[in-house]
Every structure is written in structure tokens, then in C-alpha cells.
Amino acid sequence: MADTKAWILQFDSQHRAAVGQRELLHLDQAASRYPFPLAPAHCREVIYWQGRPIPLMDIAIWLGNSKSNLDMERQKYIGIVGYQTRQGETPQFGALWLAQPPSLIIVSDNQACDLSKAGMEWSPLATACFNHEHDTSEHEPVPVLDLMRIFAPNADGMHKAQLKSPAYELTP
């Protein structure tokens, strides 16, 4: 039974998800942000990281929270993530607004559960899910983000199966 490490990312008071340990590359609190018009509402800012323009996503908005329901403190940290659209390709990067610093956990295969337990709103953003013991000792489903689908929605789906990431090994 394989164990793997994953980062728990908290987007607002209600929404959290995980990425593989190797997918989260950097945490920033002071990145300069630049507006980019006509993009989707959840992704209207760009930051520069290592000389490249990186899209900055607000997953809480993507999940359908109206502005009035969003807690004001959710945009405190920026997590830089990396992904590949195909194996062997130069890594691509994206950024996510986070409400808290990420926490590293160990996940076992036997924690895998159906993604639908996390809610249907996660289906465009995640491909897997696992049960995780929350602070309250309750188990709750944590979706595993599909970074390629989030940041490169037009990438050839055929290449997804070639990805090697701990996150994808959790698919039940």
C-alpha cells in the first residue's frame, strides 16, 4: 500500500483541495499583480515568476461563490504550482490564491474516495479525491486538483494519461 505526500491548499473558509508534493513550487506574499481584461472572473490577474507571466486563479470564485459570500481574508498567500501538459515537456506554471499557508500531509491509497463526495462543483477542477481527517477529527473528502485542466484547458486530453504525479495515483 503506497503512501504519498500532498499539500492541502485552503482557498477560503469552506473550500480546500490537494496537490501533489512536487506540484507546489513556491509560496509568495508580495508578488506584484497586473490586471488582465476579458479573462474569466476567477482569473483576471497575472503575476510574473522567473520572468514568465503566470495566471493567478481564485478557486473560491470559480466554485461559484458570489463576491458577497467570500471572506475577505482569503487572498493572503499565492501558491505557485507547476504542471506538464505532456511527459517530458518543459513545466508550465500557474498561481493560486490561498487563505492559509499550505500544510503537508501523507495520503495512503486506501483513503481514496469518489470525487462526487466532495461535491459536483469540483468536477471541472479535480480528478480524484481522498478522505482526510480534519482538525475536528472528522473525515472529509479532499479533492485533488487537476492542474493541467485548470491552467491549460485546451491541452490535448490524450496527454493527461501520461502524467506522472503522486496526485494522479490517488484515482480510485
Partner 1 sequence: MRVTELQAPNKLQLAAERYALIKLGSLNLMLLQDGIRTLESIADLESKEPPANGIGWISFQGSAWPVYCLTEDLGIHDTLPESYRICALLSIENGFVGLVCNEVILMAKNEVRPQSIPVCMVSANSPITALVHYEDSMACLTSPQLLADFLTFQDTGISHLKTSRSHYG
Is 30 a residue that touches partner 1 (CB under 8 A)? no
Is 157 a residue that touches partner 1 (CB under 8 A)? no
Q: Of residues 17, 24, 43, 163, which one binds partner 1 by CB under 8 A?
A: 43
Binding mask 93-132 for partner 1 (x = CB under 8 A): -x--------------------------------------
Is 60 a residue that touches partner 1 (CB under 8 A)? no
The 8-class DSSP code of residue 60 comes to H
Nearest CA among 32, 47, 143, 37 for reference residue 95: 47
Report the C-alpha gap between 95 and 30 in whole angstroms: 13
Is 53 a residue that touches partner 1 (CB under 8 A)? yes
List helix spans (H) across the chain.
Answer: 59-62, 147-151
C-beta closer to partner 1: residue 105 or 152? 152
Is 55 a residue that touches partner 1 (CB under 8 A)? yes
Backbone angles phi, psi at 140, to 5 degrees: -135, 145
Report the C-alpha gap between 42 and 64 in whole angstroms: 9
**Which among 38-46, 63-71, 74-82, 162-170 is the span making contact with partner 1, rule CB under 8 A?**
38-46
Give how many residues touch partner 1 by CB under 8 A.
25
Is 161 a residue that touches partner 1 (CB under 8 A)? no
CB 21 within 8 A of CB 6: yes
Nearest CA among 160, 151, 153 for reference residue 81: 151
C-beta closer to partner 1: residue 89 or 140? 89
